[in-house]
Structure 1
Amino acid sequence: MSYRPEHKIQTRARIVEAARRLFNRHGFEQVTIDQIMADAGLTRGAFYHHFESKDQLYAAAVSSFTTCNPFASAAQDIDDPLRLARMLIDLYLSDEVLENIDMHCPLYALPSDVARAGLAPQQAYTDLIRGMSHVYRSALTGVRDADRRAQTMVSLCVGGMVLARTTNDPALRRSLRASARHQALSLLKVH
């Protein structure tokens, strides 16, 4: 029985989505190929029709965040770079995103795992950093230190979420994210 090309694309997407969710919840080392395939509703044998290794799948899962996250859907209708940058900061540091583990960005959900991973996952992670920086950089056209500001905003957003995820103190969680948001938004102001 042969499948249409779109079936293979859809199946691969199911595997990547299952992997992304499970990696976010449990980390790279704790998740097996069998768990991923069961979550995707497929057999282990199907895995090797789409990926050569778990590392390759991990890289695909990290990369998939650019299209499967709340930021991508919210950004579709925004053509003003400054408005888009502000929206990204607000949404990234929101209660909604913090509370939805399945939608956590790999930049704050998986940094330790990626640091120990192979080159492909590290490249996917690097691409996410560059993509987020680009959004902020685009909002700072004509600003002399735009690259530094954009990277600082990425650091504030990711760092604010990393720290917020690690504490069990709700007030501290809010305060850390509010402080990061305030500083990131202040960097968008052109003096």
Structure 2
Amino acid sequence: MPYSPEHKIQTRARIVESARRLFNRHGFQQVTIDQIMADAGLTRGAFYHHFDSKDELYAAAVASFATCNPFAAKMSGGGLSVENPRQLATMLVDLYLSDEVLDDINMHCPLYALPSDVARAGLEPQQAYTDLIRGMSEVYRLALKGVRDADRRAESMVSLCVGGMVLARTTNDPGLRRSLRASARHQALSLLQA
């Protein structure tokens, strides 16, 4: 008896979530299909029922962060909506640069967890990464609606958030980790002011 369409969707989601976690922890090159499938509780043969290549899975794992991530869960749980874009943008900056996110590798966004891997990856992962950048920029752009240089400010906010986290992850000095993120947060939030 063949599996139901719902089962296939759930299995694919399980593979993508396992891949996202493992890629965040170890990087694209260090993670094998066998490791991903074992983490998902499946066999290697099942992989090819859902994906044609590791690159395709990598793109799906990066893209999954846009809808199935701790940020989305926390934001929707906070009752914020697009009707209040400035509050949503502020919450995103605060959460993105928080101790909670820095300390929990499973919450790390591919924008700062995987940039070197994506730069060397194929077109599918790069497109998924590009979509994440544009999505995050759009949150900030909506908060800046009516501001003359909204596009520049939104992209600067993305750069500050991602860059602040990239640098914070690279140092073993706790004070510098806090200072880098606090500085990025201050500058990003100042860009929200019209």
Q: TM-score, normalised by structure 2?
A: 0.97
Residue 20 of structure 1 pairs with residue 20 of structure 2: yes
Whole-angstrom distance in 2 between the partners of 1:28 and 1:160: 22
Residue 89 of structure 1 pairs with residue 88 of structure 2: no
Partner of residue 128, structure 1: 132
Q: Aligned runs of 1:21-170 on 2, under 5 Å?
A: 21-76=21-76, 77-79=79-81, 80-170=84-174
Bigger shift: residues 115-124 or 73-82: 73-82
- Secondary structure of 1:107's aligned partner: helix
Letter matched to residue 14 of structure 2: R
Deviations 1:130-186 (A, max 9, x none): 000000000001100000000000000000000000000000000000000000000
Whole-angstrom distance in 2 between the partners of 1:22 and 1:141: 37
Deviations 1:58-80 (A, max 9, x none): 00000000122222123222120
Letter matched to residue 60 of structure 2: A
Whole-angstrom distance in 2 between the partners of 1:71 and 1:83: 14
Residue 49 (structure 1) shift: 0.0
What stretches of structure 1 of length at least 5 have no aligned partner? Answer: none
- Secondary structure of 2:80's aligned partner: coil
Letter matched to residue 38 of structure 2: A
Q: Aligned runs of 1:176-187 on 2, under 5 Å?
A: 176-187=180-191
Letter matched to residue 138 of structure 2: H
Identity of aligned residues (%): 83
Whole-angstrom distance in 1 between the partners of 2:70 and 2:60: 18
Output the aligned Cα RMSD. 0.6
Whole-angstrom distance in 2 between the partners of 1:112 and 1:102: 18
Q: TM-score, normalised by structure 1?
A: 0.98
Match of 2:175 among 157, 162, 171: 171
Whole-angstrom distance in 2 between the partners of 1:9 and 1:70: 20
What stretches of structure 2 of length at least 5 have no aligned partner? Answer: none
